[in-house]
Structure 1
Amino acid sequence: MVLFVQPPESFEPPSILYLLLTCPVKLLLHHAYHLLVYLRTAPTPLDPPVRIVCISDTHTMKSDIPPGDILIHAGDLTNSGSIPTIQKQIDWLASLPHKHKIAIAGNHDTYLDPRTRSSLSEPDRSGHLDWKNICYLQHHSITLTIASKLSTPTSTSQLLGPTRTRQIRFYGAPQIPACGPMSVFAFQYERGLDAWSDTIPNDTTVLITHTPPKNHLDLSLPSGLGCEHLLAEVKRVKPTLHIFGHVHWGAGNEICWWDGCQEAYERGMEREQGWSRGLLDWRLWREIVRVVVYGMKGLVWDKVWGGQGRSTRMVNASLMKGSTAKLDNPVQVVEI
């Protein structure tokens, strides 16, 4: 029995028995929230839709990548972070047929952070990188103009070629809460410090970070590996799409509706459990009730009246599956 109650490794998913024994109320909260979110209708892409192919955490490996308008890599291109290994990944990405490509760094991309570059041997940090046709973002924005055909043309002339252009604003930032040696792992800050407030431009449509926001696709139980300050910043800006990686077991996508259900979920997940594991915490139980009430209200508003409200699609694009050293997670493709 002892084997089943040991705390899990920080980047490994805990067993359901461990969660039942250590945080049963939060486990209930987590599943109630995600069930209600799952039942709601996903936002409808604009016309014409833009197809974005999202990948992350390739760690020097290659994979089959589906077609799309834009390819985004959310960091950890490599394991060692040397110039040769980064350049090989750049060459692979540059060879793919997507018209637009964007990449950011991850904590394993050591050379890209001047603070950790000196940890590499001289041959591994000598020379320069050629980003070719890839836009590398490090605390910067870029606006792309995408031209495509309407999916429901209104005249014969519209069938002949691109009829509408869309401008999409991207912002990329690599910093993560510390998870390893500060002198080796790139772009780290001490966990709990605020490295995000008022850093993301208000007009951002697609946000690209390496770390997840707290409690979303980040192994939320028992404590979550994402950043609470990033979550607050995402809530302030409310981008249409937020792409990240880092936590391999969190791969997937979900819709975050910025409403009372989401607020109650966040408050409940941040409650300190103490010795009672939340069983005697009436405030935590109150947040579960609020999640159900606000969640049902949003579900009725959606299914009966067709209302939706503001939302952000969150995508953990990690291709590496856990600690298997294999790119077995599916590529995430979304349309906005």
Structure 2
Amino acid sequence: MEWWWWWCCHRWGFSSGSCWELLVPCEDLNLILTVCLTSVLSAAQHAPAWIPYNPNQSPPDTQARHLKLQNSPSPQMTLLTALGLRRKNDWEPPTLLDSLLISPLHLLVTIIYSILLFLRGRPFRPPRDKPAIRVVCLSDTHDQINVRVPPGDLLIHAGDLTNAGTADDIQAQLDWLASFPHQHKILVCGNHDSFFDLSARRPEDRGKTLDFKGIRYLVHDAVTLEFKGGRRLKIYGSPDIPACGGPEMAFQYDRASPPWANTVPIDTDILITHAPPKHHLDLGLGCAGLLEEVWRVRPKLHVFGHVHWGHGRQTVHFDDCQRAYENLIAQPPRGLVRDFFPHSGWLGALRVLGYGIHGVIWKWLMIGPGGNTSSLMVNAAQMYGNTGRLGNPVEVVDL
């Protein structure tokens, strides 16, 4: 059986349902991998399930979906998932095995890029001659209020207040947010907050209104706020998000036609969106169009949510290193074996490393540790992954 299996893979370019890419330029490696995989599956008493795979047809705009996760997973995929070796769906972080099967090169470059960001230090420091503005960032609370919200000057909620998006559920969240003493509060809705989008609003909610209680709701517009010490911040908010659900989801757009180009004011200090930009705290599910708009505007702080497992913060420098990293990760992954054969991704990895080392040297020798030249992205999702409970720490940023 092994020879027949290998011959079919070699002849027609088949791959398994869990994306074991066996079609590589080395027949010995093909045979070795096939025999090893056969042994593992036989030991588990599962028959292999094969599906046709065309490497030129990758699912739209996300490297994570190159895994070819199926609605009805194959037996070996179910076993590996049950053992915790593979993730269940695109909304969970890839395991080490997932990352290796997708692209060892992408995994290596991501680790290197994270180290380079760490070596370059914090993106900015508050001004010494004026009071810092403390920004408290929330997102994806999904009807829950058991969150310890730290004090601050500005409270931001980046969407998905609720699950069902009804007027009553949203009002309960507004009442909760209004109870905090922050000087300013800003809200952008998420795809689950269907009441805010007339095309997604439930019939029983038509005609109802909300009491925002001093909370500023931003939808494709900006506001300039004043803080102590005479400081001012311009904040732009938009709820638009790549289509990810049915008609009950709010403010969805076709991923192939992002609406972001030249929409954000160039002098924006804080950008708030529900969707993440591509390649940053997004598990590969973010929007490439939003990323390009962020490159154009370069806000000091970008707050978003939506992808729960992407929670955290990441420095962005808008330099050659970042562009090289994004370009490399955007390339279709080649799989566990083919990544080890020479291809253009190797050159991209060297660019990331070279530009990154240059950035570290420039940072410490020319600008110094107190340099105030970069920006910060924050995924403020409070929901702990797909568990249905809150658990992520609240992100606090001093500007």
Name the TM-score, length of structure 2 as normaliser: 0.75
RMSD of the alignment, in Å? 1.6
Residues 258-281 of structure 1: CA deviation (Å, up to 9, x unaligned): 111101001101112346653335
- SS of match in other structure, 2:327: helix
Q: Distance in 2 between matches of 1:68 and 1:193?
A: 37
Q: Does the alignment pair 1:169 with 2:234?
A: yes
Aligned counterpart, 2:95: 15
Aligned counterpart, 2:119: 39
Aligned residues: 312
Unaligned runs of 5+ in 2: 1-39, 41-75
C-alpha spacing 1:334/1:272, structure 2 compared with 1 (3 Å): same
Residue 298 of structure 1: CA displacement? 0.7
Deviates more, 1:269-278 or 1:166-175: 269-278
What amino acid does structure 2 have at the position aligned with 1:96? F
Q: Does the alignment pair 1:328 with 2:388?
A: no
C-alpha spacing 1:207/1:277, structure 2 compared with 1 (3 Å): farther
Q: Which has the higher contact order (CA 8 A, sep 6+)?
A: 1
C-alpha spacing 1:277/1:93, structure 2 compared with 1 (3 Å): farther
Higher-Rg structure is 2
* Contact 2:191-2:249 within 8 A present in 1 as well: yes
* Contact 1:257-1:309 within 8 A present in 2 as well: no
Q: Does the alignment pair 1:278 with 2:325?
A: no
Q: Does the alignment pair 1:144 with 2:225?
A: yes
C-alpha spacing 1:66/1:132, structure 2 compared with 1 (3 Å): same
Q: Distance in 2 between matches of 1:37 and 1:260?
A: 13
* Contact 1:82-1:125 within 8 A present in 2 as well: no
Name the TM-score, length of structure 1 as normaliser: 0.89
Residue 10 of structure 1: CA displacement? 1.5
The 5 Å alignment of 1:10-159 reads 10-42=90-122, 43-46=124-127, 47-62=130-145, 63-117=147-201, 120-122=202-204, 124-147=205-228
Residues 202-247 of structure 1: CA deviation (Å, up to 9, x unaligned): 110000000000000011xxxx000000000000000000000000
Residue 7 of structure 1: CA displacement? 6.5
Aligned counterpart, 1:200: 264
Unaligned runs of 5+ in 1: 148-163
What amino acid does structure 2 have at the position aligned with 1:227? C
* Contact 2:125-2:372 within 8 A present in 1 as well: no
C-alpha spacing 1:324/1:8, structure 2 compared with 1 (3 Å): closer
Q: Distance in 2 between matches of 1:271 and 1:261?
A: 16
What amino acid does structure 2 have at the position aligned with 1:60? D
- SS of match in other structure, 1:226: coil
* Contact 1:83-1:128 within 8 A present in 2 as well: yes
Identity %: 47
